[in-house]
Amino acid sequence: MLSACDTSHNLGFRDYVILLLLLDTGMRVNELASLRVEDVNLQSCYVKVFGKGWKEREIGIYPEMAKLLWKHIQKYRKPANPEEKTLFIGLKGPLSKHGIQSIIKRIQIHLGLTDIKFSAHVFRHTFVEMYLERGRRFIQAFA
């Protein structure tokens, strides 16, 4: 999946960061689409999201993810309007929920994975499974 993103140019790096952020946080696709640059706290390693019912919460991110977000913001994010606050933008402006879903669909087709379920929500389920597995390994280490 990640190898399908050409990180040598703006859009490929953006797509790479989007996939990793979905896996790292388990956030919903509409939460990702509504992220603003000011919602990213690189020093404390968290992003502030507005979830269902516009409830605000902070989601921790790994320091490596914070570095990728910094690189995206500083080097690859080039909005046509310098006042644009949305974190992830496309050629015509802020990426919507549907824009993010079409990026994931494009990667799925590019990789020939059309016979499996592949969506932003699958990333959310994968995050939960990875989180639970890390917890099991942690508990087993001290048992």
> Closest Cα partner for 2 from 26, 14, 22, 19?
19
Query: In which element (H, E) is residue 108 found?
Result: helix 97-111
> Closest Cα partner for 62 from 23, 94, 8, 16?
23
State which residues of the chain have pLDDT below 70.
124-125, 127-128, 131-132, 134-143
pLDDT of residue 135: 66
pLDDT by residue (tens digit) across 7-44?
Answer: 999 999 999 999 999 988 889 899 999 999 999 999 99
The radius of gyration computed from the CA coordinates of the chain, to the nearest angstrom, equals 16
Query: In which element (H, E) is residue 19 found?
Result: helix 10-25
pLDDT of residue 55: 86
Write down all domains in the chain, each with its CATH number in brackets.
Answer: 2-141 (1.10.443.10)
pLDDT of residue 51: 80
Q: Are 32 and 100 within 8 A, CB to CB?
A: yes
Name the percent of the chain lying above pLDDT 70: 86
